[in-house]
């Protein structure tokens, strides 16, 4: 039985054309995967609708429907906007209605883990979960990049990382504490991190991580709303507090200097505030 003819100008047609484009194939595999996930959520209700018929109020309605997950809502709007912008010169639409819809305001992002929280996690987590947390903390890399790290990536005390999100290559010298942890990990796979069965994480890491945080003894961590990505921010904060320059931190984490500078301002504010209170107390004692 022949497949029904694809309707021109619909979101389904736009997505098919976009995924065959050089712009889509220029994205990193991880970004493609992220785009695909958000595009799938858009196609579910809008597949057969005309792209040209989309109004700002429709985008706003979609955004408000995701208000409980504002970060996801912002990402979906970003992907939709990119998709329509690609389609405008290809006669799918004349205007981009996403441009008139403000995204949800972001806070300061994921909270960094304190040393106390990290130590609490270390003492109560399973070995495979602690190994993953430690690798993220001491290399300052994203979860996906940590799961992809191989033993062969380590040479002469340095681990080489090609970041999946940006394609950027960074070389991170091994912290002595991380080296001690790596020495304790059994090499059951070419990958550094493995699950409880000694198999590489092909999936299921996030569910295992959430299961870990649901343990009663992890209440202290869960109550602080700490997430895996916050370990990357902790690395930045600890490096800055140790006196590293923005450029030095950026060289390790692969983040932009602007992003590191943002964290640096927060660290400097805390340091200056602490010094100010100390001076105030000393002056009071003298008088």
pLDDT in tens, 223-242: 888 889 999 999 998 998 88
Over residues 77-83, mean pLDDT? 94
Give the residue from 118, 106, 72 showing the smallest Cα distance to 237. Answer: 118
pLDDT band, residue 283 (cuts 50/70/90)? confident
SS3 160: strand
Residue 110 pLDDT > 80, yes or no? no
**CA-CA-CA-CA torsion for 209, 211, 215, 220, nearest 10 degrees?**
40
pLDDT band, residue 2 (cuts 50/70/90)? very low
Q: How many other β-carbons are positioned within 10 Å of the β-carbon of residue 130?
A: 18
Residue 5 pLDDT > 60, yes or no? no
Domain 115-274 in this protein, CATH class? mainly alpha
**Residue 284 pLDDT:** 74
Question: What is the side-by-side strand order in the sheet with 169-173?
Answer: 154-155, 158-162, 169-173
Residue 256 vs residues 68, 243, 275: alpha-carbon distances, Å:
29, 18, 29
Q: What is the pTM of this model?
A: 0.66
Common-topology check for domains 11-100 and 115-274: no
pLDDT in tens, 9-36: 999 999 999 999 999 998 888 788 889 9
CATH of domain 11-100: 1.10.150.130
Domains of the chain, residue spans:
11-100, 115-274
């Amino acid at each position: 039985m022949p497949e029904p003819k694809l309707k021109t100008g619909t979101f389904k047609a736009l997505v098919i054309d976009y995924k065959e484009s050089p712009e889509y194939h220029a994205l990193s595999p991880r970004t493609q995967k992220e785009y695909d996930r958000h595009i799938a959520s858009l196609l579910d209700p809008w597949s057969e609708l005309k792209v040209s018929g989309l109004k700002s109020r429709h985008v706003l309605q979609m955004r408000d429907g995701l208000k409980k997950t504002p970060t996801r809502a912002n990402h979906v709007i970003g992907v939709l906007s990119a998709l329509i912008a690609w389609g405008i010169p290809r006669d799918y639409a004349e205007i981009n209605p996403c441009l008139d819809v403000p995204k949800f305001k972001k806070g300061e992002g994921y909270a960094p883990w304190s040393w106390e929280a990290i130590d609490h996690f270390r003492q109560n987590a399973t070995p495979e979960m602690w190994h993953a947390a430690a690798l993220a903390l001491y290399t300052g890399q994203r979860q996906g990049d940590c799961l992809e790290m191989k033993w062969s990536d380590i040479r002469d005390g340095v681990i080489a990382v090609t970041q999946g999100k940006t394609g950027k290559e960074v070389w991170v010298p091994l912290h002595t504490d991380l080296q001690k942890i790596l020495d304790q990990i059994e090499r059951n796979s070419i990958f550094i991190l493995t699950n409880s069965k000694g198999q590489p994480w092909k999936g299921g890491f996030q569910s295992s991580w959430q299961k870990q945080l649901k343990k009663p003894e992890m209440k202290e961590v869960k109550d602080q709303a700490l997430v895996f990505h916050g370990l990357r921010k902790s690395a930045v904060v600890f490096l800055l507090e140790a006196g590293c320059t923005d450029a030095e931190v950026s060289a390790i984490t692969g983040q932009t200097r602007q992003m590191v500078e943002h964290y640096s301002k927060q660290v400097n504010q805390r340091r200056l505030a602490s010094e100010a209170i100390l001076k105030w107390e000393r002056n009071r004692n003298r008088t």
